[in-house]
Structure formats: C-alpha cells, structure tokens
C-alpha cells in the first residue's frame, strides 16, 4: 500500500494505491517476457508505472494516464533544456 501524495508523475498522486512487485531476482529477460501480459491486465484499472521500475507501455499511454502532469513535466523540460543536452534514452522514448 502506498499513501496518496502530491508529486507530479507519481502513481500515487491524489490517491492511495497498491504497488505490485513480482521479482527480486535478476531475471530481466523473463520479466520482459511477462510484462506485456501484466500491463494488459492492469490496464483495466488505469495502472500507472513507477518511473524507477521496468515497464513497457508507450509514451502515448503514459500521457493519457498522467494527463496534465505529463504535459507540464514535458513543458518544463522544453523550457529548461530546449536543445535536449540532458536528455537520455528514457526521456527520448517516453517524452519525445
């Protein structure tokens, strides 16, 4: 259980949530195999990923899930790093 918070792009922003973790072992390839099925089942509940965990959903899905927070964070990135100097692969994949 995770208590509600007011952090932009937090899966718990504005609501108490349940976090689901399903491995503590270094089995990255097996996690990637099953993750599409887990995300599909959880999509019915508008489940939001934790940005510090592994997920496969697209940037378009993230934008729908996080709405204004997603747009605001992207705007802040554009205002403060217009040339993308500090962008990494994660930022490029999920925000551009």
- Dump pLDDT digits (tens) for 52-62: 889 999 999 99
Q: Does the residue 22 lie in any domain?
A: no
Q: What is the pLDDT of residue 25?
A: 86
How distant, in Å, are the alpha carbons of 12, 49, 59, 69 from that of 18?
9, 11, 22, 20
Q: Does the residue 73 lie in any domain?
A: yes
Interval 66-94 mean pLDDT: 93
Long-range contacts of 4-10 (CB under 8 A, 24+ apart): 8/66, 8/69, 8/72, 8/73, 9/51, 9/66, 9/69, 9/70, 9/73
75 is in which domain, residue-wise? 28-95
Number of domains in the chain: 1
Q: Does the residue 1 lie in any domain?
A: no
Interval 62-83 mean pLDDT: 94
Q: Does the residue 23 lie in any domain?
A: no
Give pTM, 2 decimals: 0.80
């Amino acid at each position: 259980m995770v208590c509600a918070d007011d952090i932009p792009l937090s899966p718990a922003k504005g609501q108490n949530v349940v976090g689901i973790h399903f491995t503590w072992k270094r089995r990255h390839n097996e996690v990637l195999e099953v993750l599409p099925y887990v995300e599909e089942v959880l999509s019915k509940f508008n489940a939001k990923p934790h940005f510090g965990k592994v997920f496969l959903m697209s940037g378009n899905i993230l934008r729908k899930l996080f709405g204004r927070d997603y747009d605001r964070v992207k705007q802040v990135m554009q205002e403060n790093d217009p040339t993308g100097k500090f962008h990494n692969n994660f930022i490029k994949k999920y925000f551009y």
